[in-house]
């Protein structure tokens, strides 16, 4: 069936579409009658400042007119999806020309993508963008394809090829699970937790949106205790040690989602939802990291690093002249003539690109290891930094949920941390 528009008598052809103004248009006319482009060009030529409204209108017009012919009318192309899919292979091809173009591509293409992301999120006020997610997936697929080029160009053992392919498939599976729901809070979930307080050992009290009343009562009790003691020990306690009980009451009502939040939950301004056990919003998977997908996210990071390191090592030891150490470990030695052959050049550039990306992911993995070892989320670390309760940037002082290095990791790997997320009694985990 051909697609119709309300009020339109004739169906759309494969190159027609309805623009943002509801007018019937054709993709051949994409550069015609563009008032936004005329306005911006006139101000540029006359050396006048371009207003944010004009820039926003121009980008919105370009986004609306980027179309592809389809069966039932031209479909719109998402710029934040298409741009990294074109930029990554183009940058690798340009970098394979010579060492000079490798440096140029390494500077220009990431800068253009980051500039586009800044304009996309701030000028057009898009909260979410798939640019980094598509960038990461495209890089993963292309570098694996480059590894296959090495296999066809030079000889690699069958078990090495099978191991790298298995790691690649496991990485995709872990990424798929990390992209699932992080544990979004709903009204039904909160009501269920309120009806069954014995499971969580946390008795909820109806807030009715009046958080200040509960906080004021607690401050009054703290003041009475201080008068009895005759000192300011309660102020010192609140300044030095985080109080999960107090932290929860201060943010127990979400104005955006209009629901009562559970302990250790947080509101994500990007996804615009409240997430149980929220750690952070990861741009590389375009999803929040919460209690339900934290382990999958950690496994995905680990597999990306292992796959990238092993694949780049096999590639470099195949196209470069290797040296053997300890009678079993190969290390690339002579890589002077990598740009003489096109296949060798693209393999060398792909391996170097993989090493850079793997190094960046390693820093994120180290951060996650430090946080998991303390049973702290990134959101809780951010709050602790604001209150000057951290040392060496990543270590929280006096965190009451810290059960020890071994127990924290056992809870995380076994899934007990997810169940302990809401088990709180007087600010102490059980």
Count Cβ atoms within 10 A of the Cβ of residue 371 and give its class: 0-12 exposed, 13-18 middle, 19 or more buried.
Answer: buried
Q: What contacts 385, CB < 8 A, 6 or more positions away?
A: 393
Pairwise CA distance, residues 217 & 313, whole Å: 62
280 within 8 A of 272, measured Cβ to Cβ: no
379 within 8 A of 266, measured Cβ to Cβ: yes
Token pair in block for residue 91: 């940058």
Query: Which of 205, 200, 220, 291 lies closest to 253, judged by CA?
Result: 205
pLDDT higher than threshold 80 for residue 382: yes
Pairwise CA distance, residues 288 & 268, whole Å: 8
333 within 8 A of 298, measured Cβ to Cβ: no
Express as a percent the part of the chain with pLDDT over 90. 27
Pairwise CA distance, residues 336 & 377, whole Å: 46
Token match 């002077």: residue?
Answer: 336
- Look at residue 228 and give its three-state secondary structure: helix
pLDDT bucket at 7, cuts 50 / 70 / 90: very low
Q: Residue ranges of the domains in the chain? A: 16-77, 80-179+296-371, 187-292+400-429
259-260 and 266-268 strand pairing: unpaired
Instruction: Give me the residues paired with residue 332 across strands.
Output: 322
pLDDT bucket at 222, cuts 50 / 70 / 90: very low
> Across residues 288-312, what is the average pLDDT?
93
Residue-level pLDDT at 10: 66
Check the CA dihedral 113-119-28-39 and report its sign: negative
User: 63-72, 206-215, 278-287: which has the highest mean pLDDT?
Assistant: 278-287
pLDDT digits (tens, 9 = 90+) for 151-182: 876 678 888 889 999 999 999 999 999 998 88
User: 46-60, 125-139, 179-193: which has the highest mean pLDDT?
Assistant: 125-139
Of 19-28, 172-181, 285-294, give the lowest mean pLDDT range.
Answer: 19-28
Residue-level pLDDT at 217: 47
- Look at residue 223 and give its three-state secondary structure: helix
305 within 8 A of 137, measured Cβ to Cβ: no
Query: Which of 296, 291, 298, 295 lies closest to 418, judged by CA?
Result: 291
DSSP code of 184?
B
DSSP code of 21?
T
Q: What are phi and psi of 334, to 5 degrees?
A: -110, 105
Within 13 Å of residue 11, how many CA atoms lie on the same side as its CB? Answer: 9
């Amino acid at each position: 069936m051909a697609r119709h528009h309300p009020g339109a008598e004739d169906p759309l052809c494969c190159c027609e579409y309805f623009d943002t103004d509801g007018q019937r248009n054709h993709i051949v006319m994409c550069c015609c009658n563009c008032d936004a482009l005329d306005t911006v060009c006139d101000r540029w030529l006359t050396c006048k400042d371009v207003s944010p409204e004009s820039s926003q209108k121009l980008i919105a017009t370009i986004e609306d007119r980027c179309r592809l012919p389809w069966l039932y009318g031209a479909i719109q192309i998402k710029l934040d999806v298409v741009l990294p899919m074109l930029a990554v292979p183009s940058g690798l091809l340009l970098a394979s020309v010579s060492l000079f173009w490798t440096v140029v591509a390494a500077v220009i293409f990431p800068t253009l993508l980051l500039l586009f992301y800044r304009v996309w999120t701030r000028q057009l006020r898009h909260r979410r963008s798939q640019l980094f997610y598509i960038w990461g997936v495209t890089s993963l697929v292309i570098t694996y394809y480059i590894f296959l080029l090495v296999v066809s160009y030079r000889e690699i053992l069958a078990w090495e090829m099978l191991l790298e392919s298995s790691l690649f498939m496991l990485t995709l599976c872990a990424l798929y699970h990390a992209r699932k729901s992080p544990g979004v809070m709903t009204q039904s979930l909160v009501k269920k937790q309120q009806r069954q307080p014995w499971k969580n050992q946390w008795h909820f009290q109806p807030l009715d949106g009046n958080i200040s009343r509960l906080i004021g009562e607690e401050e009054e009790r703290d003041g009475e205790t201080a008068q009895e003691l005759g000192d300011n020990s309660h102020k010192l306690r609140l300044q030095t040690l985080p109080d999960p009980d107090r932290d929860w009451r201060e943010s127990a009502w979400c104005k955006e989602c209009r629901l009562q939040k559970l302990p250790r939950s947080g509101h994500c301004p990007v996804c615009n939802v409240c997430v149980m056990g929220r750690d952070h919003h990861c741009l590389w998977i375009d999803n929040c990291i919460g209690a339900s997908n934290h382990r999958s996210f950690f496994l995905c990071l680990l597999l990306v690093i292992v796959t990238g390191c092993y694949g780049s090592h096999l590639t470099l030891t195949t196209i470069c002249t290797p040296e053997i150490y300890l009678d079993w470990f190969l290390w690339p030695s002579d890589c002077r003539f990598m740009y003489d052959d096109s296949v060798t050049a693209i393999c060398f550039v792909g391996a170097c690109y993989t090493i850079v990306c793997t190094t960046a992911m390693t820093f994120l993995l180290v951060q996650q290891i430090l946080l998991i070892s303390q049973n702290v989320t990134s959101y809780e670390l951010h709050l602790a930094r604001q209150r000057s309760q951290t040392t060496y940037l990543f270590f929280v002082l006096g965190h009451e949920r810290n059960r020890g290095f071994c127990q924290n990791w056992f809870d995380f790997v076994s899934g007990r941390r997810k169940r302990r997320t809401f088990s709180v009694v007087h600010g102490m985990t059980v």
